Amino acid sequence: MSEPLGIRAPDPASPFAPGQHIVLKNPVRAHFAAFIAGNATICERVVQAGSAEGQTLILCGAGPTLRDHAAKWCPRGDQVWGCNSAMTWLHTHGYPVTHGFTIDQTPHMLEEWATVPDVEYLLASTVHPHLVQLLQGVQRSITFFHNYVGIDARPVEYCTCGHDHVRESDGMAPTCAHCPCAAYEPRRMDYEDWLYIQLYPSTVRAGSGLNSVTRAIDVALFMGFARIIVLGADCALRVSQPLPSGVVAGTPAFRRWLEESVEMHADGGSAVASGATETTIDGVIDGRYWLTKPDMMITAVWLERWRRKLGRRLTLIGDTLPKALRDKPEAYLDRLPAMVDAHGNPLRLI
């Protein structure tokens, strides 16, 4: 995500303690437009609407519960997508995995996918071009889609005919240089969307939630999957030892606890693996303690709302935070941390 987006602190009545407003700043946000343009020069395929009509997708996040359910569910899919490190974990442990999926723009993905398993790769057009070069270097199949990152740039003004070039004369209203009638009826488009439309064939732009699983659901729906079964979308951290008494956030002792006693990934990665921050939030739902991160909390809410909207088409597997939110009233979900735009307005599933 880029600077225009943030996370609203939870409501005082939320099971998660109130905190500060968090502004999301991706470390490579200044390069998003360049990544989009660079990847366009080597794009050969984009995700096609309806290309998986009627199929079953096993969609794997990298949470610890993936270990509990991969053996049962992965063989049941027409396609099995592994998000980020979930793909390499599945491949290493012999589970059927057909696709690697990522929206991660950081160079860290070169480390996560360094073994480049022989699967198909679904990449956001905003990924680091070095990742694309790594995959191309071993002749892996790559298909692009778009992923909303919130590029902070002035909207593009264009004519209803679709062109963005206008002709202006002193003292005269602007006219479109491409319209036979020389008329000019202005329209505006976000710069990010304009880049996608100008540089790539038509495809889907994902934008749900704040991690790969929810964005992958957007792509899967566009492709027409009849059923989407989600594994490893824990949206929470697995704690083996409670936080020692007197240890507070921001101290070396707190980081050691996150490294040694808190697990985030199926491959054993800790709460600070892959360059993750130490920021955590915790709370109690129906008497059970949960430790999570702000982006994971938002994604959990998004997954539960997707489940309500899609019904039997979407199944969430495992003892996960989204399961804890199942069938909670909308007013309850509204009290939890939420993703907001630059004006503080919560972004919701349409």
Which pLDDT tens digit goes with each residue over 111-148?
999 999 999 999 999 999 999 999 999 999 999 999 99
Burial environment of residue 20 by CB neighbours within 10 A (0 to 12, 13 to 18, 19 or more): exposed
Residue 143 has a CB neighbour count (10 Å cut-off) of 18
The mean-pLDDT minimum among 12-16, 61-65, 170-174, 288-292 falls in: 170-174
- Taking the whole predicted model, whether its pTM rises above 0.85 is answered as yes
Q: At 167, is the pLDDT very low, low, confident or very high (cuts 50, 70, 90)? A: low
User: Which two tokens mark 166?
Assistant: 């206008």
The Cα 28–Cα 340 span in angstroms is: 21
Is there a contact between 336 and 16 (Cβ–Cβ < 8 Å)? yes
CA distances from 348 to 41, 136, 218, 286 (A): 33, 37, 14, 24
In this prediction, residues 308-337 reach a mean pLDDT of 94
3-state SS class at 85: helix
